[in-house]
Amino acid sequence: MTAPPFALPVLRLKPKADARRIRHGHPWAWADDLVLDRRSRAVPAGALAVLEDAERQPLGLGVATVEAKIGLRLLDRDPGAVIDGAWLTARIGAAQALRDRLYDAPFYRLVHAEGDGLPGLIVDRFGDTLVMQPNAIWLEEREAALAEALLSVTGCTTLIKNGTARARLAEGLPEVTAVLAGTAPEAPIPVPMTGATYMADVMGGQKTGLFYDQRDTHAFAARLARGARVLDVFSHVGGFALACLAAGAEAAVAVDASEPALALAGQGAAASGLGDRLTTRRGDAFAEMEALAAEGARFDLVVCDPPAFAPSKQALEAGLRAYERVARLAAPLVAEGGVLMLCSCSHAADLAKFRAACLRGIGRAGRDPRLIHTGFAGPDHPQHPQLTETGYLKALAFRLMP
């Protein structure tokens, strides 16, 4: 145990709080479980604090946010750990070592928040460029040390800060995008993945510019795609469409509300030598699915990967209705014996609830499904087994019987 350079505040669990939950691996202490007196309430948001159980036995060192629902996020089980540049370098180095074993090319999620022991931090790597989302106060206050650690561990020369996530609002952090090192790319970055080339707009695109989390599900869809007609709804930059075309799909239609995203899908198709087989349709996904049904369009593979319809428990019921509607509108577009893939990135909608909503929608469409695959985010998005938030992504593939 390393002695801290100065005395840190202590937060203590109430006698009735379940300290075993934290001892057994949960990285959060709820504010309702903490003794909140004048002293503990004075601990500033983002400050380091030692967490103790009701018997004053230390449980670890974490970041305090006592006025929020989560009163403390553990950083280290050693209450005497020093959270400095060396500590950040060690955590990032461990994350990099895992990715080095998983991938041959430097295109992946490098840091996945609690999944890599760095609460609030998301970092995606695009070759020599890193894009980080620091969504917590403790990271904001250590920006320089964090940047130095990321660059030294990876050897990258460009680091972009994307501070536009909704999570920053809850921490009282400003919305900001900045280049912390190197030079901002003047054009989208080509990303080789699943046999295709994707175009990542790291300065103006959604989130960090590209979604790596569906890589493994793209690969499964591609296995079904040879000679198939494919519909990719909520396609963003053509994630499923390009993977399927690269695997030999006859043709693919990408549907999205964003013209810039569809333009990047087109650029990716051209860069992959697949431009003549990709068609794009810009518009509301629900309206476009209804229009395609009216046109009598049918596809061998239909994939729907919408945004998070249930980003919180409060939005769960409305979100499940939206997922049901997606399934109801998509199912009639699947040819007999074809496959319907439905995805959710809503952590509040667990797998069972999401699956039930999908089955209701498919049933209302009069189709007879068989579940042939359940997918999750790839291994560069490690799940903390105690946090459903880190295992947010679900993908279900149903064969619709002839």
**Burial of 7 by CB count in 10 Å (0-12 exposed, 13-18 middle, 19+ buried)?**
exposed
Residue 78 CB partners (closer than 8 Å, separation 6+): 1, 2, 60, 61
Mind spelling out the 3-state secondary structure of the chain?
CCCCCCCCCEEEECCCCCHHHHHCCCCEEEHHHECCCHHHHCCCCCCEEEEECCCCCEEEEEEECCCCCEEEEEEECCCCCCCCHHHHHHHHHHHHHHHHHHCCCCEEEEEEHHHHCCCCEEEEEECCEEEEEECCHHHHCCHHHHHHHHHHHHCCCEEEEEECCCHHHHCCCCCEEEEEECCCCCCCEEEEECCEEEEECCCCCCCCCCCCCCHHHHHHHHHCCCCCEEEEECCCCCHHHHHHHHCCCCEEEEEECCHHHHHHHHHHHHHCCCHHHEEEEECCHHHHHHHHHHCCCCEEEEEECCCCCCCCHHHHHHHHHHHHHHHHHHHHHEEEEEEEEEEECCCCCCHHHHHHHHHHHHHHCCCCEEEEEEECCCCCCCCCCCCHHHHCCEEEEEEECC
CB atoms within 10 A of CB 263: 16
* Pairwise CA distance, residues 140 & 173, whole Å: 8
* Pairwise CA distance, residues 212 & 218, whole Å: 10
Q: Cβ distance 333 to 301 under 8 Å?
A: no
Q: Cβ distance 124 to 210 under 8 Å?
A: yes
Find the catalytic residue in 244, 343, 345, 358.
Answer: 345
345 is known as an active-site residue: yes
Q: Is the dihedral of CA 333, 337, 338, 342 positive or negative?
A: positive
Where in the sequence numbering do the catalytic residues fall?
345
